[in-house]
Amino acid sequence: MTKRPANRLRQAGTGRQPGVKRFRISLAAVPAFKAVTSFPALAALSAFFIGCAHGPSTARLGAPKGNFTTVLIDPGHGDKDSGGTSGRLTPFQKEKDLTLDTAKRVRDELKRAGLRTLMTREDDRFIELDDRVAMGNQLGTGAILVSIHYNATGSSRPNGVQTFFWHANSHGLATRIQQGVVSSTGETNNGVTRRRLRLTRNPEIPCVLCECAYLTNPTENAKVAQNNYRQLIANGIANGILQQYRLGDEGIPPVPEIWAPLSKASDKYVPTKKRRKRVRSADEDGRG
């Protein structure tokens, strides 16, 4: 735990934020989980296929301090929502494909280490942001949510790794994942940013969103096209999660003050017609 006064921790967002809608929808409303509840006799089997819920025992990981045993991995975007793209750069890549590939690699690493894993999607399908949040909230205590994204912007210059969080209980996780990816890939460290994105403010479990690289940067676009490089990213994310599992918030600096304005509907970035065809801004990255 970070050493902060209790009242400040509350202000910093350890609890649910006032006005934040509590998602009461059942997992039955979520496509990825529908099969489980529609066919009770297959529930156990489906749970295995959907979420690898019967992963290896975590016993060999030692006494954990992270207060979680399950990781919900969220590959950003899907189907009609491609996310960002590399625009005119070659190879042409869509964020939704890279996030899914990276998420599967993270899942495999975590399973190998003995953690229990679930995924919000395992194929090219569209899932509403609120349904992704609902999956996390349904899992409840003992789970964390890690959302994987790739960045895109109108300029070819920006590059590097950035991890977002909102609730104070997610700062340690964000910090370790950020450090994990930066040290694994050697990429520019854009740091950990505290921001109220829909996927960082609404889950009631620790949750972070990692922007692994810029598809609009020629160098990074070429790198993430390589399996080996995406594996390095996945290793970094998995290492960060495993470190948080072992150590909890031990050694994590205090939660930073908010430097970015709060997100709200009126802040939504409206892209130009031309840009809409080629790229998506990080701030309109389906993160509301």
Shortest reach from residue 95's CB to Zn ion, in Å? 5
Shortest reach from residue 4's CB to Zn ion, in Å? 31
With contact defined as beta carbons under 8 Å apart, do 120 and 32 qualify? Answer: yes
With contact defined as beta carbons under 8 Å apart, do 121 and 97 qualify? Answer: no
Per-residue contact string for residues 71-110; x = within reach of Zn ion by CB under 5 A: -----x------x---------------------------
Element (H, E) at 53: none
Shortest reach from residue 178's CB to Zn ion, in Å? 16
141: left (phi over 0), alpha (psi -120 to 50) or beta: beta
Compare residues 97 and 108 and give the one whose CB is closer to Zn ion.
Answer: 97
Q: Output the six-digit token pair for 104.
A: 């599967």
Distance CA 78, CA 251 (A): 36
- If binding is defined by CB under 5 A, does position 248 make contact with Zn ion? no
Q: 285: closest CA among 160, 206, 199, 223?
A: 199
Of the candidate spans 38-46, 47-55, 69-77, 247-255, the one that interacts with Zn ion by CB under 5 A turns out to be 69-77
Compare residues 74 and 285 and give the one whose CB is closer to Zn ion.
Answer: 285
With contact defined as beta carbons under 8 Å apart, do 238 and 109 qualify? Answer: yes
Compare residues 170 and 243 and give the one whose CB is closer to Zn ion.
Answer: 170
Compare residues 150 and 229 and give the one whose CB is closer to Zn ion.
Answer: 150
Distance CA 207, CA 168 (A): 10
Compare residues 150 and 245 and give the one whose CB is closer to Zn ion.
Answer: 150
CA 242 remoteness from chain centre: 15
Tell which one of 214, 248, 285, 288 touches Zn ion (CB under 5 A): 285
Of the candidate spans 10-18, 60-68, 124-132, 141-149, the one that interacts with Zn ion by CB under 5 A turns out to be 141-149
Q: Side by side, which strands form the sheet with 116-119?
A: 116-119, 70-75, 143-151, 207-214, 161-165, 189-194
Of the candidate spans 50-58, 70-78, 110-118, 232-240, the one that interacts with Zn ion by CB under 5 A turns out to be 70-78
- If binding is defined by CB under 5 A, does position 149 make contact with Zn ion? yes
Shortest reach from residue 84's CB to Zn ion, in Å? 6
Q: Output the six-digit token pair for 18.
A: 């006032």
Compare residues 122 and 285 and give the one whose CB is closer to Zn ion.
Answer: 285
With contact defined as beta carbons under 8 Å apart, do 83 and 96 qualify? Answer: yes
Contact residues: Zn ion, CB under 5 A: 76, 83, 149, 285
